[in-house]
Structure 1
Amino acid sequence: MKLLQINSTLNWGSTGRIAEEIGQVVLSKGWESYIAYGRQCNKSKSQSFRIGGDWAVYNHGLQTRLLDNHGLASRKETKHFIKQIERISPDVIHLHNIHGYYLNYSLLFDFLSKVNIPVVWTLHDCWAFTGHCSHYSYVGCNRWHTLCYDCPQKGDYPASCLIDRSEQNFRDKLRAFTLVKNMTLVPVSEWLAGEVRQSFLKDYPMQVIHNGVDTEIFRPQQVCKADLGFDNRFMILGVSSVWLSRKGLKDFLKLRERLSKDEYVIVLVGLDESQIRHLPEGIIGIRRTNSVQELAKYYSVANIYFNASVEETFGLTIAESLSCGTPAIVYNSTACPEIISSDTGFIVEQGDINAVVNIVKLMKETGKQQWISDCRERAVGLYDKRKRYEEYLRLYEGLVSSPLLANT
């Protein structure tokens, strides 16, 4: 059996690592694994190849900026890629992020509609069913329910500097993405599945498969705060790969104002140098780390994890924190609340810093020791990546053995 995965990156970033690790699972079961990617990559155990090159990415990006036609450039590169698909003749095609300045989705889906190959599409964000954006909750836009127009996030990824083509993009995606008959959608959370059911993709079969955590790396560790350069104050941790507005940096600044600097310290991982320079006293900023071992130590020594994001299709850092035995505070927004339970964390209303302060003070009095076991048990039971990748394998096997049954 042959699996072909398509993603913007390969073994780089969260979706790139997911594709790589799924490939490793199917290889261990005797399948052949192929991964096609568009941009950044690290070494892979699968047979891999790039779609296009740097110049094609730059050209696609330029067209996106000028014409707001993201996903409709790269025609020559996509036609060449389709010939590679025909040569490989995969038994299953698994799509991840097909946006990212490297692929023409219209040409690809026209091809997929004409071949008898089961398609699995993991939805890591909301781009597949909007006229422009990959996330919309932060601005409260629901135009994608019917027809996008006058996009309030035209300047956000995939940014357009001039034209607003959101209405035509919506129509183009609707036409292309509903062509394929034998396709199964995999939203990464129940929240995202609920959104998809309100979109033009609602008639496709869906199976929620959560993103996975390496619970062998992300585990409770006996680490002293001093070993990581921290003092013994109560530590509130926040982690993000990029600290955009929707990730809640301003809320951490508000929280800092409400807590004693002598008793509490906030540690934020993933900031850039400019953000670090502008932090107030009492907040320690750490640049993004590619070391999961280092990140696991931060989670382990933290007294509580605070996810101030208002826009998550899953909430991987929350699951990582639980896996390290540290309870979390999350906003009652998008997918974040479904990651935790009453014995592994707290849900507060978006922006309610008073509630966060009260929880932090309560945790300082009671300690986190009583939470560690429940947090770890939930992470291992629900978010262990090995179990999640086995779900993908079973999905593939079902589609190959009985594609019609698997799509009913």
Structure 2
Amino acid sequence: MPRLLQINITANWGSHGRIAEEIGQLAMQNGWESYIAYGRWANPSKSHLIKIGNMWDERWHGVQSRLLDNHGLASKTATKKLIYAIKEIKPDLIHLHNIHGYYLNYPLLFDFLSNANVPVVWTLHDCWTMTGHCSHFMISGCDKWKTGCYACRELKEYPSSWLRDNSRNNFRLKKYWFNLITDLTLVPVCNWLSGVVSDSFLKGNKMQRIYNGIDISVFKPKVNNAVSDNRKKKFRIIAVASKWTDRKGLSDIVQIRKLLDEDFQITLVGLTLNQCKNLPSDIDGIVRTNSVNELAELYSSADVFINPTYEDNFPTTNIEALACGTPVITYRTGGSPEAIDENTGMVVEVGDINGLVAGIKKVCQSEHKEETRRLCRERAVKYFNKNDRYKEYLDLYQSLLNK
């Protein structure tokens, strides 16, 4: 029985954690033994879970990162214990996800992996791997990551540094360590990110794009009986994020509310309690939910899903909405437009609030809403069924083992 070890910041928690969990489940259904090593935040898992480090290690890593800009260079003891666990498990294949998040020392890990004689798959969920500091560079419009980072414009953003700019050295270290594994296959989650990899210092590695997938048996059109009669008479707009900031379009949505009349109702999902209290009275706020059934009901109850994000790679929320039969309007950001086509949504230029408002009115007032809902569902089933997408990983695993 082949053994799979995945490494991620979370286990069965959040979008990336659920992806790792579901890949592990599919692997087990096909005769693999599955392990997931994680840094923090875990829900019960069907895989064997391995906790990396502890709360104090995470906090000390965070302190060093903020003072020294050395994210990924602390947590030495935690990483050495992980390496010991890997040696005990003897996996046939190792699959990396997000290795940033204040829990791993990547030089130690990659030094081990480069000599482990085990194929490594690395799913790239953001851009941190290719830069000297940031996980996203879209808002700043920076392209230093193509040749060498310095004087970072995103220093105060995740993983934020308060004092030091170490981006030049971080870039140099990543370029060395991340190219050290000979049997490494990179998996960007969208075509846009594939293009970023092709322009980066990782371009010499094998690469295969695999879209994220979702559970289409859960994310499907549902009736939300909790919607009041008053709200049923309105056009319902929904927006979902795991963390709402202006970079996710929060202030843009507030502006949109001012430009729409009372026939339109906006609901934001994923807010903090404090954000809910400070929302304008004519926007409904819902705190983060880990209930996928509740989320599916919220998507299904909407006439349109909007994603005015200023930086993203391939948002899972887009395809969740589609699977529930809800058309998507998104800014032209990263791989976000790749989820839809001309029949299932609209793409608006970044920051074009008037264009977003016009798109909302067009979708909500369309005479072909039922046909659009059907096409949204069909597109999600065809392209983003997790069983199909994650089978691509299993096929990749097998090809690497066979080689």
* TM-score, L = length of structure 1: 0.95
Q: Which moved more, 1:76-85 or 1:339-348?
A: 76-85
Instruction: Specify the code of the residue in structure 1 equivalent to 2:364.
Output: K
Q: Which residue of 2 aligns with 1:121?
A: 122
Give, in whole Å, the separation in 1 of the partners of 2:349 and 2:191: 19
> How far off its partner does 1:170 sit?
0.5
Q: Which residue of 1 aligns with 2:195?
A: 194
> How far off its partner does 1:237 sit?
1.0
Provide, for residues 167-200 of structure 1, a one-character-per-residue CA deviation record: whole Å limited to 9, x for no partner: 1000010010010110000001111111111000
Provide, for residues 265-302 of structure 1, a one-character-per-residue CA deviation record: whole Å limited to 9, x for no partner: 11111111222222223211111111111111111110
Is the CA contact 2:318–2:339 (under 8 Å) kept in the aligned structure 1?
A: yes
Give, in whole Å, the separation in 2 of the partners of 1:181 and 1:246: 37
Q: Which residue of 2 aligns with 1:212?
A: 213
Q: Which moved more, 1:63-72 or 1:278-287?
A: 278-287
Instruction: Specify the code of the residue in structure 2 equivalent to 1:175.
Output: Y
2:353 maps to 1:353: yes
> How far off its partner does 1:314 sit?
0.4
Instruction: Specify the code of the residue in structure 1 equivalent to 2:101.
Output: G
Q: Which residue of 1 aligns with 2:152?
A: 151
Q: Which residue of 2 aligns with 1:2?
A: 3
Q: Which residue of 1 aligns with 2:39?
A: 38
Instruction: Specify the code of the residue in structure 1 equivalent to 2:273.
Output: E
The 5-angstrom pairing of residues 357-372 of structure 1 reads 357-367=357-367, 368-372=369-373
> How far off its partner does 1:364 sit?
3.4
Q: Which residue of 2 aligns with 1:90?
A: 91
Give, in whole Å, the separation in 1 of the partners of 2:234 and 2:127: 39
Q: Which residue of 1 aligns with 2:390?
A: 389
Give, in whole Å, the separation in 1 of the partners of 2:391 and 2:133: 33
2:312 maps to 1:312: yes
Is the CA contact 2:313–2:333 (under 8 Å) kept in the aligned structure 1?
A: no
Give, in whole Å, the separation in 1 of the partners of 2:377 and 2:26: 24
Give, in whole Å, the separation in 2 of the partners of 1:295 and 1:289: 7
Q: Which residue of 1 aligns with 2:110?
A: 109
Q: Which residue of 1 aligns with 2:376?
A: 375
Is the CA contact 1:264–1:282 (under 8 Å) kept in the aligned structure 2?
A: no
Q: Which residue of 2 aligns with 1:344?
A: 344
The 5-angstrom pairing of residues 9-408 of structure 1 reads 9-224=10-225, 226=227, 230-261=231-262, 263-367=263-367, 368-402=369-403
| CA 1:167–1:194: 2 relative to 1, 3 Å | same
Give, in whole Å, the separation in 2 of the partners of 1:397 and 1:229: 54
Is the CA contact 1:79–1:107 (under 8 Å) kept in the aligned structure 2?
A: yes
Instruction: Specify the code of the residue in structure 2 equivalent to 1:16.
Output: G
Aligned length: 401
Give, in whole Å, the separation in 2 of the partners of 1:179 and 1:70: 19
Give, in whole Å, the separation in 1 of the partners of 2:77 and 2:365: 63
SS at the partner of 1:162?
coil
Instruction: Specify the code of the residue in structure 1 equivalent to 2:28.
Output: L
Is the CA contact 1:327–1:371 (under 8 Å) kept in the aligned structure 2?
A: yes
Give, in whole Å, the separation in 2 of the partners of 1:97 and 1:167: 21
Provide, for residues 7-62 of structure 1, a one-character-per-residue CA deviation record: whole Å limited to 9, x for no partner: 11111111111111111111111111111111111211111211221221111111
Give, in whole Å, the separation in 2 of the partners of 1:363 and 1:113: 51
Instruction: Specify the code of the residue in structure 2 equivalent to 1:359.
Output: G
> How far off its partner does 1:363 sit?
2.8
Give, in whole Å, the separation in 1 of the partners of 2:93 and 2:306: 39
> How far off its partner does 1:224 sit?
4.5
Give, in whole Å, the separation in 1 of the partners of 2:257 and 2:133: 35
> How far off its partner does 1:339 sit?
0.8
* TM-score, L = length of structure 2: 0.97
Instruction: Specify the code of the residue in structure 2 equivalent to 1:333.
Output: T
SS at the partner of 1:122?
strand
> How far off its partner does 1:309 sit?
0.5
Give, in whole Å, the separation in 1 of the partners of 2:115 and 2:400: 17
Give, in whole Å, the separation in 1 of the partners of 2:188 and 2:156: 26
Give, in whole Å, the separation in 2 of the partners of 1:284 and 1:56: 38
> How far off its partner does 1:229 sit?
8.4
Is the CA contact 1:119–1:182 (under 8 Å) kept in the aligned structure 2?
A: yes
Q: Which runs of 5+ in 1 are unaligned?
A: 403-408
> How far off its partner does 1:319 sit?
0.6
Q: Which runs of 5+ in 2 are unaligned?
A: none
Percent identical among aligned pairs is 52
| CA 1:83–1:231: 2 relative to 1, 3 Å | same
Give, in whole Å, the separation in 2 of the partners of 1:294 and 1:227: 16
